[in-house]
Amino acid sequence: MARLPGLVTASALALAAAIAPASAQEALHVAWYGGNWGDAFKACVADPFTKATGVAVVPEVGTSTVTLAKLQQQKDAPTIDVAWMDGGVSELAEAAGVLAPITEKGVPNLKDALPQAVYSNANGTYAVGTGYYSLGLTYNTKEIPQAPTSWNDLWKPEYADAVTIPSPANSSGVPFLFFLHKIWNAPAGDFAPVFAKIKELKPALFFDSSGAASNAFQSSEAIIGAHFNVGAFDLAAKGLPIGFTVPKEGVWATDARLHLVKNAPRAEMAQKFIDTALTPAASQCLAEKLFLGPSVKGVNVSPETAAKLPWGAKGSVETLYLLNWTEVNAKRAELVDTWNREIARK
Amino acid sequence: MIAPRTTLALLLFAPLAFFAAFFLAPMAVVALASFTTDEGGLTFAHYARILLDQYHWDVLWVTFRIALATTALCLLIGFPLAWYLVRIVRWRSWRRACVILIVVPLFTSNIVRSFGWMVLLGRTGLVNQGLMGMGLTERPIRFLGTETGILIGMVYILMPFVVLSVGNALAKIDTALEDASADLGVGPARTFWFVTLPLCLPGAVSGAIMVFALAVSAYVTPALLSGGQITVFSMLIFQQYSSVFDFHYGGALSVTLLVLTLVLVTLAGRVGERGRRAA
């Protein structure tokens, strides 16, 4: 509905960008997400980078999928140099052939990244993680004073009509199904038991955006459910009675990764930017601002922040359930289709 | 001096170029994707997948049912409102204030307004608190995740289109026609039915078409107010583009919705045309 004016504005901006003078070329173009994520990337990485090099950073705001679409459109003559994309989309970008390998020669700090955060294939390293976030058990501390201990608590009768989990329109929807499949020990490749159990769930809503989840928790529409540690602790920081816990089955997690764009017009500066993001200072800053679990060795965070990291107070990157995205992407269409037919209709 | 024809061509060129670049080109990309495979070959498989599957027809029926109900309710509520503004309000500044009140919400993002309804219609929201406070219901009524909830949000957001178009038509009616009807001994009800209503039918039809087209393609409001428990067609399209990344199937879904909507809107236009001729 408000789509058309938005499109016109976007188109006008695109046109303006296309005919902008070439003198703006010096600035580095970095794709990142909107909202508090973009603010944190700017404060923790872009600002220090600009301070050190004198090169300005122009943000290209969009979700991971939008960024991938942009990269595919401008494959022949890219304008974006560096791109943040989430796990899952990162693999798709590599398959689409829009990424250039990241090397220790260009990015010396790569050697300090956790081995789990360096994503490589036969072509070399195509992505490097800049911080983990997880989808954990989030609850209203006023309604539920005792922290829940299991994902199965969502099916408790007292929480009927007040539960939320992601829908497949959300980037965490399909991965969450894989996670449930794993913790319930369902037979390999068979998601029927997972769907059967979700069908029994009495939800308030299946959220399709992280904002909708935050809104539901804020208005007490949902009092228990799945939410990202980033969103849950953001609500808690605003003084709302929201708790986030890592139940005994663990949590599913993914990461925001940096990518060097193939044929990036400012490749040298782009590598320097990635190098800046992999410093302990940047990683610590992202942990303090977004509660991202550091993907760089030797990062010290305050005890207060440590409790808010994706793996909870006691865990580490080892205890996170990280997905094999190739497997997930292969099954994505099928699971979304089954969800639509089985769950999202009355 | 430039010849008038050249001026005209120049004046036409800019909007035409804009239309081609930002409307036709993206549309062509979507349509093209819907007829091709990943390898670039021509195929109708994506359409077969949609049209031969009862599930898609079920979702289409839900989508059109919600859109039709939205249109009907907007007309039902919007018409009296327009009547009040044009015929009853005598004080000019009050009328102006009312029009502003109706138009201002259009300046606010749909997302914000839909979130607002989520809060109002929620389990512990204002509507349920009111209903329970008045003793009308013991337990909170479920609005979110129901078609009723979606309908409330859509009618609120789309109503201004009906009020403005019907109001415009009403204001243009020569009241002498109604006086003539009364002079000829016809009662107010019959005058309204045989004179006034047919004369504002074109306005009502254009308002209804706008509301219907916007309701069929609406994404934000149904997505937020359905709580993911009711699926409308635009949500299927969004899923394909946002999380499945199948632009071929997604494109075919988009074209299907576009074509079916155009067919229905054309039919409605015909009805409006006939109504005008009858009047």
Q: How many contacts, defined by CB atoms under 8 Å, are there between A and B? A: 107
Lowest mean per-residue pLDDT among A30-44, A265-279, B257-271: B257-271
Chain A residues whose beta carbon lies within 8 Å of the beta carbon of residue B123: 161-162, 204, 220-221
Written as one string, the DSSP assignment of A267-292 is: HHHHHHHHHHHTSHHHHHHHHHHH-P
Residue range B111-138: mean pLDDT, rounded: 88
pLDDT at A23 over 60: no
Please report which helix (H) or strand (E) contains residue B41, including its range.
none
A206·B227 Cβ contact <8 A: yes
Q: How many angstroms separate the CA of residue B150 from the nearest CA in chain A? A: 13
The reported pLDDT for the residue numbered A25 is 46
* Closest residue in chain A to residue B227, using alpha carbons only: A205
Which chain B residues in 225-254 lie under 8 Å from chain A, judged by CB atoms?
A: 227-231, 235-236, 238-239, 241-246
Q: Read off the pLDDT band of B152 (50, 70, 90).
A: very high
Q: Please provide the average confidence, as pLDDT, over all residues in chain B.
A: 89
Q: Does a structural domain hold residue B174?
A: yes
Which of B62, B119, B227 is opposite residue A204, by nearest beta carbon? B227
Q: What is the CATH number of domain A133-253+323-342?
A: 3.40.190.10
Option in B123, B230, B246 nearest A345 (CB):
B230
How far away is chain B from the Cα of A97, in angstroms, using its nearest Cα? 15
How many residues are recorded in chain B?
Answer: 279
Q: Hey, which of A62-66, A169-173, A232-236, B8-12 has the most confident mean pLDDT? A: A232-236
Mean of the per-residue pLDDT values of chain A: 90
Per-residue pLDDT, A3: 42
Helix axes B54-83, B247-278, angle to 10 degrees: 40
Under DSSP, is residue A30 helix (H, G, I), strand (E, B) or coil? strand
| Model confidence band, residue A28 (pLDDT cutoffs 50, 70, 90) | very high
In a domain, B221, yes or no: yes
Residues of A with CB under 8 A from a CB of B: 1-3, 7-8, 11, 63, 65, 92, 161-162, 167-171, 173-174, 203-208, 211-212, 215-216, 219-221, 332-333, 336, 340-341, 343-346
For residue A345, the chain B residues in CB contact (below 8 A) are: 58-59, 62, 229-231
pLDDT value for A202: 93
Give the model's pLDDT for residue A278. 96
Interface of B with A in 176-195 (CB under 8 A): none
The single-letter code of the amino acid at A269 is: M
B174-192 residue pLDDT tens: 888 888 888 888 888 888 8
The CATH superfamily holding the domain A25-132+254-311 is: Periplasmic binding protein-like II (3.40.190.10)
**Quick check: B117 pLDDT over 50?**
yes
Judge contact between A160 and A223, C-beta under 8 A: no
Calpha distance A213→A211 (Å, rounded) = 5
The dihedrals phi and psi of A137, each to the nearest 5 degrees, come to -80, 120
- How is residue B266 written in tokens? 């054309």
Rounded to the nearest angstrom, the minimum Cα separation between B55 and chain A is 7
Say yes or no to pLDDT of A8 above 90.
no
Structural domain includes residue B7: no
Partner residue opposite A207 with nearest CB, options B115, B228, B245: B228
Q: B142 CA to chain A: closest CA distance, Å?
A: 9
- Phi, then psi, of A157 in degrees rounded to 5: -60, -30
pLDDT digits (tens, 9 = 90+) for A47-73: 999 999 999 999 999 989 889 989 988
Residue of B nearest to A218 (CA): B119
Of B124, B125, B236, nearest to A340 by CB-CB distance is B236
Tokens standing for residue B11:
């004046």
Query: Which residue spans of chain A are classified as CATH 3.40.190.10?
Result: 25-132+254-311, 133-253+323-342
Of B115, B230, B243, the CB nearest to A168: B243
Which CATH number covers residue B148? 1.10.3720.10
pLDDT tens digits along A117-155: 999 999 999 999 999 999 999 999 999 999 999 999 999
Mutate to test the interface with A, among B49, B232, B237, B242 (most CBs of A within 10 A): B242
Give A250 to chain B, closest Cα distance, Å: 24
Q: Does B122 touch chain A (CB under 8 A)?
A: yes
The answer to whether the CB atoms of B231 and A344 lie below 8 A apart is yes
Q: Cβ atoms within 10 A of the Cβ of B189, count?
A: 8
C-beta of residue A123 within 8 angstroms of C-beta of residue A101:
yes
Interface check B84 vs A, CB under 8 A: no
Give chain A positions within 8 Å (CB) of B119: 215, 219
Q: Verify whether the Cβ–Cβ distance B158 to A1 is below 8 Å.
A: yes
From the candidates A3, A221, A326, which should be mutated to test the interface with B, based on the most B CB atoms within 10 A?
A: A221
Q: How far is CA A334 from the centre of its chain?
A: 22
Range A294-300 average pLDDT: 92
**Chain A residues with CB inside 8 Å of B252's CB?**
none
Number of domains in chain B: 1
Residues of A with Cβ-Cβ distance to B145 under 8 angstroms: 203-205
Q: B273 pLDDT exceeds 80?
A: no
**For chain A, what percent of residues have pLDDT higher than 90?**
77
Partners of A204 on chain B (C-beta within 8 Å) are: 123, 144-145, 227
**B156 lies in which domain range?**
48-278
A296-318 CB burial, b ≥16 within 10 A, e <16: beebebeeeebebbbbbeebebe
pTM above 0.90, yes or no: no
* Chain A residues closer than 8 Å to B125 by CB: 219, 221
Q: Quick one: which H or E segment has residue A177?
A: helix A173-183
- Min CA distance, A320 vs chain B (Å)? 23
Q: Which residues of A touch B160 (CB under 8 A)?
A: none
Q: Decide if B110 and A219 are in contact by the 8 Å CB cutoff.
A: no
Partners of residue B242 in chain A, C-beta under 8 Å: 63, 65, 169
What percentage of chain B's residues is helix, strand, coil (to nearest 5)?
A: 80, 0, 20
Task: Give domain status of residue B152, yes or no.
Answer: yes
